[in-house]
Structure 1
Amino acid sequence: MSDASAPSTPVVLSIQSHVAYGHVGNSAAVFTLQRLGIEVVAVNTVQFSNHTGYGEFRGQVFAASHIEDVLEGLRARGVLEQCSAVLSGYQGDAGTGEAILDVVAEIRRSQPAALYLCDPVMGDVGRGMFVRPGIPEFMQRRAVPCADIITPNQFEFEYLIGRSLVDTGDAIAAARDLLQREQQLRHVVITSLVTPDVADSRLRTLAVSRDQAGYVEAPRIVLEPLPNGMGDTFSAVLLGDYLRHRDIGQALVHATGTLTELLQHTRTGMRDLPLIAAQQQLVAPSGRYHFELAD
C-alpha cells in the first residue's frame, strides 16, 4: 500500500537546479507553483550557494545516480503515481536528462493524462549556447519528442528547427511542422520573439497548437543586467495556470503578464526577480494583456 493519499490539487514533480540564495530553477519554480495553489515535489539537480549570474559560487552538481536515488525514495512512498505533471529546465548533463525522461514515462503509465513541460534551456541571443556539449543534441533528439509543452526562447527554437525565423507567420509554420513530426507534443510556446514584424519596443510570446496559434505582446523592458530565473518563473506560471484551466491562451496571458510585471518591479542592478516582494503578480498580474489569435 502506498503512503501517499490521492491529492485534491495538482501535483508537479519539478526536477531542476537549486540555489541557497537567489531565484532560479526550483528556487523560483517551487514558490511560484505553490503560490498558484499547486503541490510541488522538488528534486534538485544541483545545490549551489547562488546562481552563476553573481559570478563566483560554491556547491556541486548532483550525479544522475543521486537523482535516481531520490526518485526511488519517492517511488517507495507512492508519490510519483500522484503527479499531474513534470517540469524540467536547465540540465547539467544528459545523464540527468535521461533520468527525467524515464520518470516521465513511469508517471504516464499510471497517469496517462500527466503532462511534461520541458523548458529546453540551451542559450540565448548574444550569449550563444551556454550549456555543456551534448545538451543541445539531447534536447532536440530526446527531450522535445517526449514533451507535451516546450517553452524555448527564439534562439533555442531556431536551433531546434535548424534555421532562423523570418516573421511571426514563419514561426507559426515552423512550430506546426514540429508538432506534425512530434506526436506527443501539444503546445509550442516561443518566448522573446523579436522577428522584424515585432516593434522594437515590444516582445511577443507565441503559443502554437495544432488547431490554434496566438501571441501576447508586452513592453520590452530594458534592464542591465537582466535578472536570472525569468524563464524558470515563466514556465512555472504557464504550467500552473494550464493545469488549472487547460487553456493555453489564458496560461500564456498569465505567464507573460506575471513576468512583465515582475520585471517592472525589478530595480536596476538586481540579479533576481522580486518574487517575494511582488508575489501578488504571480497570482494576478496588475497589467492588462491579451491573447491575439494569429491564424
Structure 2
Amino acid sequence: MNILSIQSHVAYGHVGNASAAFPLQRLGHEVWAVNTVQFSNHTGYGAWRGEVFSAAAIREVVEGIQDRGVFPKCDGVLSGYMGEAAIGEAILDAVARAKRANAGALYCCDPVIGDVGRGVFVRPGVPEFMRDRALPAADVVTPNQFELEFLTGARVEDFRAAMAAARSLLDRGPRVALVTSLITPETPADVIDMLVVSEDGAWSLRTPLLPVSVNGAGDAIAALFFAHYLETRSPAEALSKAASSVYGVLKATAEAGSREILTVAAQQEFVSPSRRFEASPL
C-alpha cells in the first residue's frame, strides 16, 4: 500500500513520522512522508532546535508528489502533529487531492492535542482545528483519553462514558474511532485499556501497564492501526495487531531502560509480535 503521512519529524529519537514511517515500511508499505516540523528531538526533553514548516511549504511538497502522477495509487492519508492550525488546512487539501484521484482512499487523523497529566501541548488554534475541521473530514480518528474529552466535550468518568463519547465521534464524520491510553475506574492498576468503535460494533483490548514513559508510542499505534484497517477493514483485527506490536516494542524499551522507544531495535514486533492480544466485542 501507499500511505501519505503528514506529521512532525525529529532527527534524534522517534516521534511523528520518525515513529510512524518505519513500522509501516517494515510491514512492506510505501510511505510518502511529509514533515510538518523538523526538530532535533521531541519537545519532552524541554529543549530542542529546529523549525515548524509553513503551510505553503507543506502544500508545495504535496503538489510535487501529485506532479508525479501517483495520487491514484494513494491508499490513505495519515496526519498527526500539525505545528500550527494553518498546516491543518494544507493537510485537508492533500486529503481532498488524494480522494479526487482515488475514491477509495481513506483519511486517518491522529488528533494530537495533549494528554492526561500534561494538558494541551500544541499551539493555540490547533485543538479547535482538530475538533471543527479535521474530525469531520476523517474516516478514522485515533484520540487518546484527553483528546476524546476535548473533541466531544464529555467527561470520561467510566468505561461506559468512554464508549458513549467514542460513538458520538462517529456522528461527526469518522467511520471508525480508536481510543488509546484509556484508564477508567474499571481499569485495574496494572493494565491499560484501548477501545475501538465503528458502525459495525465496539471492541476493547487490555494490555499490561509497563514501567516505561516514552514519546512516540501513540504515533506508532495510530499508523499501525490505520494500515491494518486499510488491509483488513476489520477494526477488531486492526486493534489486535497494532496493540500487540506496540506492546512488544514498549516491553523491549522498558527492559532496556531506554528513554526513546526502540522502534528499530525491536522492529520484529511489527511483523511478528511476541505476544498476541485479542480485541473483545462489547
Range into which the TM-score falls when normalised by the shorter chain: over 0.9
Contact 2:155/2:161 (8 A) holds in 1: no
Give aligned-pair identity as a percent: 52
- In the TM superposition, residue 285 of structure 1 has moved relative to its aligned partner by 1.2
- In the TM superposition, residue 80 of structure 1 has moved relative to its aligned partner by 2.5
- In the TM superposition, residue 178 of structure 1 has moved relative to its aligned partner by 2.4
1:235 aligns with 2:222: yes
1:285 aligns with 2:276: no
- In the TM superposition, residue 269 of structure 1 has moved relative to its aligned partner by 5.0
Q: CA RMSD in A?
A: 1.3
Structure 1 CA distance for aligned equivalents of residues 225 and 58 of structure 2: 25
Deviations 1:157-207 (A, max 9, x none): 011111211322222222222212x2x311111011111111111111100
Count of residues paired in the alignment: 281
Equivalent residues in 2 for 1:12-51, closer than 5 Å: 12-51=3-42
Deviations 1:261-285 (A, max 9, x none): 1111114652211111110111121
Structure 2 CA distance for aligned equivalents of residues 178 and 117 of structure 1: 13
Counterpart for residue 258 of structure 2: 270
Contact 1:54/1:271 (8 A) holds in 2: no
- Aligned residue among 193, 202, 207 for 1:213: 202
Structure 1 gaps, min length 5: 1-9
1:185 aligns with 2:174: yes
Equivalent residues in 2 for 1:73-112, closer than 5 Å: 73-112=64-103
- In the TM superposition, residue 72 of structure 1 has moved relative to its aligned partner by 1.5
Structure 1 CA distance for aligned equivalents of residues 191 and 13 of structure 2: 27
Counterpart for residue 4 of structure 1: none
Structure 2 CA distance for aligned equivalents of residues 266 and 175 of structure 1: 30
**What is the one-letter code of the residue matched to 1:104?**
V
Structure 2 gaps, min length 5: none
Contact 1:12/1:38 (8 A) holds in 2: yes
Contact 1:20/1:48 (8 A) holds in 2: yes
Structure 2 CA distance for aligned equivalents of residues 131 and 252 of structure 1: 27
Counterpart for residue 72 of structure 1: 63
- In the TM superposition, residue 238 of structure 1 has moved relative to its aligned partner by 0.8
Moved more, 163-172 or 42-51: 163-172
Contact 1:238/1:254 (8 A) holds in 2: yes
Contact 1:89/1:120 (8 A) holds in 2: yes
Contact 1:48/1:57 (8 A) holds in 2: yes
1:222 aligns with 2:211: yes
- TM-score under structure 2 normalisation? 0.96
Contact 1:13/1:86 (8 A) holds in 2: yes
Contact 1:12/1:41 (8 A) holds in 2: yes
Structure 2 CA distance for aligned equivalents of residues 271 and 80 of structure 1: 37
Structure 2 CA distance for aligned equivalents of residues 172 and 50 of structure 1: 35
Structure 1 CA distance for aligned equivalents of residues 223 and 242 of structure 2: 8
1:58 aligns with 2:58: no
Contact 1:36/1:240 (8 A) holds in 2: no
